[in-house]
Amino acid sequence: IAYRPSVAVMSITSSTNSANMYSTLSVNTVAPFVTHVTLNRPEKLNAMNRAFWGEIKECFQKLSDDPDCRTVVLSGAGRVFTSGLDLTDMSDFFDIIQSEQDIARKSKLFYAKVRDYQDSFTALEKCSKPIIAAIHGACIGGGVDLISASDIRYCTQDAFFQIKEVEIGLAADVGTLQRLPKAVGNDSIVRELAYSCRKLPSDEAKSLGFIGRIFPDKESMMNAAIDLATVIANKSPVAVQGTKINLNYSRDHTVDDSLEYMARWNSTMLQSEDLVKAAMAQMSKDKPTFSKL
């Protein structure tokens, strides 16, 4: 596939390259300041097991602070993006059921567990670098929660999405019901998907507003995702990260509150060297070089 060689050619030795750091993810620098995170248990369809929940959180918390990372591409290895929660690894839940007799005490344990899982995906939202999710094949259950916490969503023609939690007897609890409706433009379809567990094909996902672009195959999608990531990585990181943080803030606040936060933000950021560098680059038509952030 075309986009892999380009990675090999680069052979950057980044602090974030971590072949053996995680058991469920691989993390590579695929272009300057562009990090590629791969869900990497292809033999298990990238199902989300116990290790995954800790690793995905740690990974994006580190990337948020990693000055060598300015944009992230997130994709899945193997046949599908992810099959969602690894049900063979649900012993934690049964442990809770059996560990306590009292409902209130079980409730405290379940609450902590759900909160932990939620925090894992909130780490993507809180990561100050834009995240481009590139989805092929199936994206099921927890996979929808995961990409709902990403910034930009690309997919292949053959991709499909499924909010599957109701099928296993529970309401989706790690972000889909909270983030997806605010990111798209057809509440009727969102609710139909969430109640009925039907599969959402890629083209309907695009017209729903969940997906930004559809590609014929994974190779073209990955190339486009990395190209976009590269474009963003060449921009001022002060400007890009400020844009993400303010977009997140605006989603959850009134316009008035958000304008106030924005004005405070830029009262500092307009003093940054990036503004001068970007302005000069615009005039000289040169490509600006920004310091790490």
Stretch that binds its own copies, among 24-32, 72-80, 136-144, 267-275 (CB under 8 A): 267-275
Closer by beta carbon to its own copies, 26 or else 125: 125
Q: Pick from 8, 11, 19, 102 the residue near its own copies by CB under 8 A.
A: 102
Residue 135: which of 230, 38, 17, 50 has the closest Cα?
Answer: 38
151's tokens: 């910034």
Q: Pick from 112, 203, 216, 217 the residue near its own copies by CB under 8 A.
A: 112
Q: Does 284 bind its own copies (CB under 8 A)?
A: no
Query: Which residues fall within 8 angstroms of residue 123, CB to CB, at 6 or more apart?
Result: 56, 57, 59, 60, 61, 64
Length of the chain: 293
Q: Does 107 bind its own copies (CB under 8 A)?
A: yes
Stretch that binds its own copies, among 23-31, 54-62, 76-84, 181-189 (CB under 8 A): 181-189
Q: Does 196 bind its own copies (CB under 8 A)?
A: yes
Query: Which residues fall within 8 angstroms of residue 179, CB to CB, at 6 or more apart?
Result: 125, 145, 148, 149
Using CB under 8 A, which residues numbered 17 to 76 contact its own copies?
A: 65, 71
Q: 26: which strand partners?
A: 38
Q: Does 157 bind its own copies (CB under 8 A)?
A: no
For tokens 């929940």, name the residue: 53
Q: Pick from 42, 182, 203, 216 the residue near its own copies by CB under 8 A.
A: 182
Q: Does 179 bind its own copies (CB under 8 A)?
A: yes
Q: Does 123 bind its own copies (CB under 8 A)?
A: no
Between the CA atoms of 97, 99, 102 and 108, what dihedral angle is there, to the nearest 10 degrees? -80
